[in-house]
Amino acid sequence: MLRFYKYQGTGNDFVMIDNRTSFFPKEDKELVAHLCHRHFGIGGDGLILLEEAEGYDFRMVYYNADGSESTMCGNGGRCLVAFAKQLKIINDNCRFIAIDGEHTATISNEGIVSLQMINVSGIEIEKSYSFLNTGSPHHVQVVRDLGNYDVFGIGQEIRESELYAPGGTNVNFVEQEGPNHFRIRTFERGVEDETLSCGTGATAVAISMYAQGKCDHNEVKIDVEGGSLTISFETDDRISYRNVVLSGPAKLAFEGTIEI
């Protein structure tokens, strides 16, 4: 019987496992996919292991819902911080290691987790889209009538296009709601579907919009299908970004055991 915890950050949901004793069969991709399956398993956009890491409060190991180990997940990282606090590994702040390097984070009494992301540079700005890496690769495209947009169909087409072969990319569609305020919908690789929220995607959109002069403040509100996130950053030239912080709620949904 496997003890698990289910967390969600603005609707981006994850199966959390305390793997500090290294008991979980990490090579078993089919097991990970089964646990993330919404009909036959627990259900989640991904699975995250919390592990020991020398010199850090913990290590984050993230798997896509299809069982493949993935790049950084911003909302997953925020949820893992909340999980670490529940386990009493940390108090209100922490430093952990993930696949894209070191991260620091704070968590408020209200459950708002602010996660420092990696520095960002090398933004590719084209006529109809932009591309950047915020720990995971993201295509960003401004559209009209986002509520009725074919996120799945067009997102899948872009994700699998020759432009991003062979690894593919996450795809974000954006509509401006107001000054320094945007709404997005995201097609995530690995999930191979639209998700209710994507933290690295929201971060990519905020930086991309600022880089293109579509907003003028270094704190940007991003509405996702599952709620709202805030991204802040520092830049001197609109090219390189540092002290990038992703903030939003991270909550325990439920916990239990499942036979494996």
Confidence of residue 154 (pLDDT cuts 50, 70, 90): very high
**Which residues make Cβ contacts (< 8 Å) with residue 56, sequence separation at least 6?**
95, 96, 97, 102
Confidence of residue 99 (pLDDT cuts 50, 70, 90): very high
**Which residues make Cβ contacts (< 8 Å) with residue 128, sequence separation at least 6?**
141
Q: What is the pLDDT of residues 6-64, one digit of tens each?
A: 999 999 999 999 999 999 999 999 999 999 999 999 999 999 999 999 999 999 999 99
Mean pLDDT of the 139-155 span = 98
Q: What is the pLDDT of residues 74-84, one digit of tens each?
A: 999 999 999 99
Which neighbouring-strand residues pair with 63? 47, 69
**Which residues make Cβ contacts (< 8 Å) with residue 149, sequence separation at least 6?**
143, 173, 185
Tokens describing residue 136: 């995971």
Other beta carbons within 10 Å of 196: 18
- Closest residue by Cα to residue 147 from 123, 175, 168: 175
How far apart (Å, rounded) are the C-alpha atoms in residues 88 and 176? 40
Mean pLDDT of the 146-157 span = 98
Confidence of residue 226 (pLDDT cuts 50, 70, 90): very high
Q: Which of 36, 73, 79, 94 is catalytic?
A: 73
- DSSP string covering 60-121: EEEEETTS-B-S--HHHHHHHHHHHHHTTS-SSEEEEEETTEEEEEEE-TT-EEEEE---B-
Residue 105 confidence (pLDDT): 98
How far apart (Å, rounded) are the C-alpha atoms in residues 65 and 15? 10
Mean pLDDT of the 88-92 span = 98
- What residue numbers does the annotated binding site for substrate cover? 12, 64, 74-75, 170, 188-189, 199-200
Query: Residue 149, exposed/middle/buried by CB under 10 A (0-12, 13-18, 19+)?
Result: middle
Confidence of residue 240 (pLDDT cuts 50, 70, 90): very high
Other beta carbons within 10 Å of 125: 12
Judge whether 79 counts as a catalytic residue: no
Q: Over the chain, what is the mean pLDDT?
A: 97
Mean pLDDT of the 235-253 span = 97
Judge whether 73 counts as a catalytic residue: yes
- What residue numbers does the annotated binding site cover? 12, 64, 74-75, 170, 188-189, 199-200
Residue 62 confidence (pLDDT): 97
Other beta carbons within 10 Å of 236: 8
| Whether the Cβ atoms of residue 232 and residue 223 lie closer than 8 Å to each other | no
Residue 46 confidence (pLDDT): 97
122: left (phi over 0), alpha (psi -120 to 50) or beta: left
Which neighbouring-strand residues pair with 256? 4
Task: For the chain, give the longest Cα–Cα distance.
Answer: 53
Confidence of residue 128 (pLDDT cuts 50, 70, 90): very high
Amino acid at 204: A
Q: Which of 36, 79, 94, 198 is catalytic?
A: 198
Tokens describing residue 9: 């950050």
Length of the chain: 260
